[in-house]
Amino acid sequence: MNQKVRHIIFALSTLTAALSVHAQETAYKASTVNKPINIVNIASLEAQAEAQMQAGAFGYIRGGAEDEKNLRSNTSAFDKKYIMPRIMQGIELKDIQINTKFLGIDLKTPIIQAPMAAQGLANIDGELSTAKGMAKAGSIFSLSTYGNKTIEEVAQVAGKSPFFFQLYMSKNDKFNEFTLKRAKQNGAKAIILTVDAAVGGYREDDIKNNFEFPLGFANLELFAKQNGDTAKTGKGTGISEIFAQAKQGFTPADINYVKKMTGLPVIVKGIQSAEDADMAIRAGADAIWVSNHGGRQLDSGPASFDVLPSIAKVVNKRVPIVFDSGVRRGSHVFKALASGADIVAIGRPVLYGLQLGGAEGVNSVVEQFNKELRINMMLAGVKDIEAVKQTRLYSDKDFE
């Protein structure tokens, strides 16, 4: 080998090493912590997480659609209703019980975790840490189709603890069948069929930050690898490119398709009108999930809490109701249960807890909600979740 060739090889090896170091330096760095977190209130976690996250990742998690009116009203809507204090009910704090049951699953709390994509943005172990945290809380973890971990990885971590799988239906039925089959085989207790995101809302934070996912969606990557598929799998793409691959023309027949494919209960998520709730139940839904996607879709839509009572009236206990969007206090959980929900799901607070404390941080978030819920129950004179569901809420017109 002559001297010139040696110089070329040395230069190439040096360049390769430099590029490797640069790639490591610029690679996305998520939190690696795993510890309980001290929480004064859930709302304060947002600013703490923002201080520690890259702007694009935080904006993707926090952001809502358009002017974010719907995002804000989801929480402020709870202020329209009041819990009447009740005294001399003969109840002590030790008497308060918050355990409940959902779809035959025993839970230590009426609070479950809403499915959320790309949890690797918040913590290096992503969905695996969230699953561990929710298991410790005695609750349910829900894995998104667009999670950074596979169904198999979550199932291994979950062990005997229950988990649900949330399906964003693809335009490619081979992907739907491949994914649903794996969810069934790996022990998912139910399928959450999300129907309110056939197209993504106009989320300006993602646009301003020119946000692209730094990590791949593991279930999409697995399908692509095993089936030679060339569809986008997350890394290096924006959310609009991912949504472009999702099914748009939903019909009630899709509910039966998922039920037949898995034999599992199907929870239809994204219900915001009484008419759609009734249609979903008639089509075979085993539960409905009242949600406006946390204010990330239709900014001009109503707050989820505002539509819950009318939906609950039409459902009339034919199937259980899950509720989410805007929940930031134990009192919000109480009010949702008193307005017709059977279970309350939380979203962003879980991710903030995940970022700040990993699996233990997730558990800390649920514990804070539980603590506040118990206090509200005690002061309202009710000792269990069934009693909360029978509680009448009040509004300003009741005091005129």
Tell me: the pLDDT tens digits for 257-283?
A: 999 999 999 999 999 999 999 999 999
328 is in an annotated binding site: yes
Residue 15 has pLDDT above 80, yes or no: no
Domain boundaries, the chain: 1-30, 32-399
Q: How far apart are CA 379 and CA 395, in angstroms?
A: 18
Mean of per-residue pLDDT scores for the chain: 93
Query: What pLDDT band is residue 23 in, cutting at 50, 70 and 90?
Result: very low
Phi then psi dihedrals of residue 37, to 5 deg: -120, 145
Percent of the chain residues topping a pLDDT of 70: 94
Residue 254 has pLDDT above 70, yes or no: yes
pLDDT the model gives residue 229:
86
Tokens of 159: 């062990």
Q: Among all residues, which ones are annotated catalytic?
A: 293
pLDDT the model gives residue 7:
47
Q: Is 232 or 287 the better-scoring residue by pLDDT?
A: 287
286 is in an annotated binding site: no
362 is in an annotated binding site: no
63 is in an annotated binding site: no
Tell me: the pLDDT tens digits for 164-210? 999 999 999 999 999 999 999 999 999 999 999 889 999 999 999 99
Q: Give this prediction's pTM.
A: 0.92
293 is in an annotated binding site: yes
Q: Locate the DSSP E strands across the chain.
A: 82-83, 100-102, 105-107, 111-113, 141-144, 163-167, 191-194, 266-271, 287-290, 321-323, 343-346, 393-394
Residue 12 has pLDDT above 80, yes or no: no
Contact 8, 100 (CB under 8 A): no
Residue 370 has pLDDT above 70, yes or no: yes
pLDDT the model gives residue 21:
31
Percent of the chain residues topping a pLDDT of 90: 89
Contact 127, 359 (CB under 8 A): no
Tell me: the pLDDT tens digits for 74-107? 999 999 999 999 999 999 999 999 999 999 999 9
pLDDT the model gives residue 18:
37
Q: Which CATH number fits domain 32-399: 3.40.50.1440, 3.40.50.1820, 3.10.20.30, 3.20.20.70?
A: 3.20.20.70
327 is in an annotated binding site: yes
DSSP string covering 82-106, please? EEPP-------GGG----EEETTEE
Query: What pLDDT band is residue 14 in, cutting at 50, 70 and 90?
Result: very low
User: What is the mean predicted confidence (pLDDT) over 277-290?
Assistant: 98
201 is in an annotated binding site: no
Query: What pLDDT band is residue 4 in, cutting at 50, 70 and 90?
Result: low
User: What is the mean predicted confidence (pLDDT) over 114-135?
Assistant: 98
